[in-house]
Amino acid sequence: MYLCNGRACIMDLSTGEASEQELSEELLMKGSAVRLADSLRDEHGDALVLGTGLLTGSLVPSACAGLISSAKGTMPLLGFAGVELKLAGFDFIVIKGESPEPGYLWARDGIVEFVSSPSMASMDSWDRTDKIRADQGDRRIQVVSAGPWGDSMREASSIAVSHWLGEDDAFMGAEFGRRKLVGVAFRGMGELEVSDAEGHLTASLALRADHASRLGQSAGLASYWDKARDSGFSSLLHRVVACFGCPHPCRSFLKVNEDPRLMALSAKEPGYLHFDIPSLDAATSTGMGSGDITTSFMECAKAGADPSSVIGAGATDLAGVRKMLAMGDAPVRTRSSATGSFRAYPTFDDCIALGLCPRYWAKAGLDLDAVSECAEPALGRELR
């Protein structure tokens, strides 16, 4: 089966048992990961589903997206998480039930297991990510983790994806907390088969070249958010970062705990990777400087607390953010329709269904015919 594994893992946390479910080519080729995730969730009852799109991991520009689906909604998985999930050997992982004790799922090489780890219950989301990578011996492992706010099932608790917040506008931290699931980790060492590798590569490179001529030079987040051009923000800029397969990066890493001009990352926690435009808008409206905003986001990410909700609850400076985090709760600040949120882009539904980044394709101009020309040599069939 081209570009897919053809199977889902079904993990029952209440028993710790994992099984496999075959996914037919007909189901996978219908082109909507969201609908398939909803179907799997309904089939297995009150399940949490991690999934990938048909094109996730392909050479189509910015084919990086996976997803997490629950009764609360669907959030994208960007960066390298969606691709690592698919290359771990599954198109979907269905998590049902509740674990009797805290632990994490570990997926790799077509295997998924629950690793009991009660000691991780006292850790923040960054420490959980670091511990999983250290225990499994690979810093490239992608970790989707809850923090203390998720453990406590707080209303505004959000999921961190390999340290960073900003994709979860469904506030799914509580979904992890009630299952005693401190995280889901995956590492992809597998391969995806394609029908016509040369044709897929040639078409994808041609489309990238066409986009480059229209998008111009990337300025990281400043290409999408004008306030990132501010001198306070740019003075802390260390580098810009792209997700898998993206030629126009929209993530900017700011250093606050060491000189941003130094290429090495010598401090344990040198800074933060910014791409969460709704939270950045909320923070800048308070008058906080870029350094305090970056530190605030670091501390929110560790707690698994949505920064826009924390700031929207009345925090107007770093001390206020810390006070709100210590209080342990904040009312949810709706962000799904906020300017710059992934869901606010008109390309969101089509892109997440296929495994593409909605932010990139909103800027490049989503052209499903052009996407099809790239995808069909890989699939060996029509895209839709």
Task: Give residue-wise pLDDT tens across range 205-255.
Answer: 999 999 998 898 899 999 999 999 999 999 999 999 999 999 999 999 999
Question: Looking at the whole model, is its pTM more than 0.85?
Answer: yes
Is residue 82 classed exposed, middle or buried when 0-12, 13-18 and 19+ CB atoms within 10 A define those classes? Answer: buried
Domain boundaries, the chain: 7-192
CATH number, span 7-192? 3.60.9.10
What's the whole-number mean pLDDT along residues 304-327? 95
Distances, alpha carbon 305 to alpha carbons 72, 215, 276, in Å = 17, 34, 13
Alpha-carbon torsion, ordered 323, 291, 218, 80, to 10 deg: -50
Give the Cβ contact number of residue 213 at 10 Å. 8
How far is residue 377's CA from residue 381's CA, in Å, rounded to a whole number? 7
Vertex 181: Cα angle to 180 and 183 (nearest 5): 155
In which band, very low, low, confident or very high, does the pLDDT at 266 lie, cut at 50, 70 and 90? confident
Q: What is the pLDDT of residue 29?
A: 78
User: Tell me: the pLDDT tens digits for 330-359?
Assistant: 999 988 889 999 999 999 999 999 999 999
Q: pLDDT for 96-155, tens place per residue?
A: 999 999 999 999 999 999 999 999 999 999 999 999 999 999 999 999 999 999 999 999
For 145, list phi and psi in degrees, rounded to 5. Answer: -135, 150
Q: What is the four-CA torsion angle of 166, 57, 96, 152, rounded to 10 degrees?
A: -20
CB of 281 within 8 A of CB of 226? no
| pLDDT tier for residue 157 given thresholds of 50, 70 and 90 | very high
